[in-house]
Structure 1
Amino acid sequence: MKNKLKTVKNFFILTLVTVITISLGTPASASNWSLTGETLIHDPSIIKEGSTWYTFGTGLAGEDGIRVLRSDNGSYWYKAPSIFPTAPTWWKNYVPNHESNQWAPDINYYNGRYWMYYSVSSFGSNTSLIGLLSTTSITSGQWRDDGLVIRSTSSNNYNAIDGDLIIDKDGNPWLSFGSFWSGIKLTKLDKSTMKPTGTLYSIASRTVNNGAIEAPNIVYREGYYYLFVSFDKCCEGVNSTYKMVVGRSKTITGPYYDKNGVDMMKGGGTIFDAGNDRWKGPGHSDILNNNLIVRHAYDALANGAPTMLINDLYWDSSGWPSY
């Protein structure tokens, strides 16, 4: 069962002061970007507007809304004003007991606007919703509230959080989402409203570790759709078992297979990043332009602080990603 926020709320309080002063000047591998400044974040999504970089992530405890980090060079990062410092009243119509900090935003540019999907929920529950914001300029700070996208209740066998926008090879928008329960879902979106048009597809699931699969991220490259997901437990600092896996499909609705030909609906997934001695529990990724990947991991040199990692993304001769 999903219980991310329960642990995150306590964990952030313990680590925030320590991490403010941490510099990532000693990367875990040669391909890690060297980041300095404010890098504390969970569930990051990254984008560049002009020469300015933005990363959006799950809000910290005591810092309502969606967390925003900004950089003028991609290297030094600093905190920007959060989004939703005050919660819209309509959220409680669908999630009466929602947390004050929102989860897992996803930012993309499409048809002249920046679209941000975000999650509203409470720990241990699939009474959840994915909402939508949009703007013509992130730097302006002026966001339009586009309302509800999709919701789930205790009667559903899925959880409407961790939304991720993907534009297919024909220019059509789709939204993947899901956490635990029956796994990862996918739905096509209307180009005008950017909201679901009908059919809900199942594209990945697990039966082990209480169905621990979440945080989908789909990209298209050279004839394949690549589905990245996170397995196992996040938000436990250095004890986190989070890891990233990937599979691919010729069609956006699947089936997605890993390198060994195992269907991701049957628990398949090729390990992409399982961490190392310093960076524990990496996961909840976002890919930009098929050549950059961001995710969080827990820094064993900073009391397990959840930290932003950015890497250049590479593709081998068989079309599989690495970093």
Structure 2
Amino acid sequence: MFSFVLLLCVALANAYSDPGACSGSCWAHDPNVIQRKSDGTFFRFSTGLGIHISSASSIAGPWTDLGVALADGSDVPVGNASNLWAPDVHYVDGTYYMYYASSTLGSQDSTIGVASSTTLEVGSWTDHGEIGVTSSSSTPYNAIDPNWITIGSTPYLQFGSYWDGIYQVEMTDSLTSSGSTPTNLAYNASGNHAIEAAFMFERGGYYYLTFSSGQAQNYISNPPAQGDEYRIVVCRSRTGTGDFVDQDGVACTNSGGTTVLASHDYVFGPGGQGVLNDTTYGLVVYYHYANKNIGLTVDDYQFGWNQLTWTNGWPVVA
């Protein structure tokens, strides 16, 4: 019996594959990865200052730090515009658009802005300021962690953190919100409602809404209970604009969410994720995590990625 229990514990501890290889500069926080259309070069964008930029020939590296997108920060009038968060980059008709959030920890005084570039390189970015998605203590949401997707021919932006969860708003174009009332896509009714960092993608007739659930940082000064640290979860919908459910059929607006990746082995608190159709590895989920062998502070965060496989229509870390 003891041997069986020991083997079971080992199996559970290794339920997820270790992250794929990373060489060069592997620090990341809320990473967003995109491949440049012209030559396939990978660009990685991360929270901090005017948004950190790194590049590589492969998602595995070697990654090289290039500098920041907006050296002088943003001119948005809300939050801390010299320390921008949670970049999300997409490509439309020859131009790359980078959404970012300006806020301070624990505050609903937040706004989402956008910058554009035709090359993704440092020094090429033009800031356009606010897009019209802003929050305060009077709104049910927090306007951070933006994520763009086109559903049919209509562009949408997902955003939100804590409070009443993750929302979606229709966009007029890449620079401007439609001004319509945001729709709630996901809500965690328990505790402090700790979900954020939405990233949506489409596959096989479904739209998959991934997000991060649990405590994101302060793992040393305010350690969470085991299992309450960051993890990556998913719900799906046929429309992409509502009715998201998890693998058990629980509504995403009623605390639903199926775990895709959680702490294991030396990996602690994976989250701030995105999904990329990599030209070499296929569909991958990428994220930041704290490496127990390096440290648990934000300055120690590492860039991780794993290939995704599919079981009964749901993504599984390979």
TM over 0.5, yes or no? Answer: yes
Structure 1 residues 33 and 272 mapped into 2: Cα distance closer, same or farther (>3 Å)?
Answer: same
Query: Quick check: 1:320 aligned with 2:311?
Result: no
Extract unaligned runs of 5+ from structure 2.
1-14
- Equivalent residues in 2 for 1:173-192, closer than 5 Å: 173-191=155-173
Query: Quick check: 1:246 aligned with 2:234?
Result: yes
User: RMSD over aligned Cα, in angstroms?
Assistant: 2.0
Which piece of structure 1 moves more, 231-240 or 297-306?
Answer: 231-240
Please state whether the residue corresponding to 1:206 is helix, strand or coil. Answer: coil
Q: Which amino acid aligns with 2:45?
A: F
Q: How many Å separate the matches in 2 of 1:192 and 1:151?
A: 16
Decide which of 45, 56, 60 is 2:45's aligned counterpart: 56
Contact kept in structure 2, 1:183 and 1:211, CA below 8 Å? yes
- Equivalent residues in 2 for 1:114-193, closer than 5 Å: 114-139=96-121, 141-149=123-131, 150-168=133-151, 170-191=152-173, 193=175
Contact kept in structure 2, 1:262 and 1:268, CA below 8 Å? yes
Q: How many Å separate the matches in 1 of 2:177 and 2:93?
A: 14
* Aligned residue in 1 for 2:294: 302
Query: Quick check: 1:33 aligned with 2:20?
Result: yes
| Shift of residue 107, structure 1, vs aligned partner | 1.0
Structure 1 residues 35 and 260 mapped into 2: Cα distance closer, same or farther (>3 Å)?
Answer: same
Q: Which amino acid aligns with 1:81?
A: G
Which piece of structure 1 moves more, 306-315 or 242-251?
Answer: 306-315
| Shift of residue 155, structure 1, vs aligned partner | 1.5
Q: Which amino acid aligns with 1:236?
A: N
Contact kept in structure 2, 1:130 and 1:151, CA below 8 Å? yes
Q: Which amino acid aligns with 1:293?
A: V
Contact kept in structure 1, 2:67 and 2:122, CA below 8 Å? no
Structure 1 residues 138 and 309 mapped into 2: Cα distance closer, same or farther (>3 Å)?
Answer: same
Contact kept in structure 1, 2:68 and 2:122, CA below 8 Å? no
Q: How many Å separate the matches in 1 of 2:243 and 2:174?
A: 28
Q: Which amino acid aligns with 1:282?
A: P
Query: Quick check: 1:291 aligned with 2:277?
Result: no
* Aligned residue in 2 for 1:199: 181
Structure 1 residues 321 and 87 mapped into 2: Cα distance closer, same or farther (>3 Å)?
Answer: same
* Aligned residue in 2 for 1:23: none
* Aligned residue in 2 for 1:17: none
| Shift of residue 197, structure 1, vs aligned partner | 4.5
Contact kept in structure 2, 1:126 and 1:154, CA below 8 Å? yes
| Shift of residue 146, structure 1, vs aligned partner | 2.3
| Shift of residue 167, structure 1, vs aligned partner | 1.6
Extract unaligned runs of 5+ from structure 1.
1-27
Structure 1 residues 257 and 213 mapped into 2: Cα distance closer, same or farther (>3 Å)?
Answer: same
| Shift of residue 30, structure 1, vs aligned partner | 5.5
CA displacement 1:196-254 (0-9 Å, x = unmatched): 34231001001212010100011111111101011110113474611111010111111
Q: How many Å separate the matches in 1 of 2:17 and 2:316?
A: 13
Query: Quick check: 1:261 aligned with 2:237?
Result: no
| Shift of residue 162, structure 1, vs aligned partner | 0.1
Percent identity over paired residues: 34
Q: How many Å separate the matches in 2 of 1:140 and 1:122?
A: 25
| Shift of residue 91, structure 1, vs aligned partner | 1.8
Structure 1 residues 31 and 280 mapped into 2: Cα distance closer, same or farther (>3 Å)?
Answer: closer
Contact kept in structure 2, 1:237 and 1:306, CA below 8 Å? no
Please state whether the residue corresponding to 2:76 is helix, strand or coil. Answer: helix
Please state whether the residue corresponding to 1:265 is helix, strand or coil. Answer: helix
CA displacement 1:18-72 (0-9 Å, x = unmatched): xxxxxxxxxx96673211111111100001112311110111xxxx221112113
Q: How many Å separate the matches in 2 of 1:232 and 1:135?
A: 33
Q: How many Å separate the matches in 2 of 1:108 and 1:51?
A: 14
| Shift of residue 257, structure 1, vs aligned partner | 0.4
Contact kept in structure 2, 1:237 and 1:303, CA below 8 Å? no
Contact kept in structure 2, 1:173 and 1:194, CA below 8 Å? no
Q: How many Å separate the matches in 2 of 1:99 and 1:192?
A: 20
| Shift of residue 311, structure 1, vs aligned partner | 1.8
Decide which of 189, 205, 224 is 1:223's aligned counterpart: 205
Which piece of structure 1 moves more, 69-78 or 117-126?
Answer: 69-78
Q: Which amino acid aligns with 1:109?
A: Y
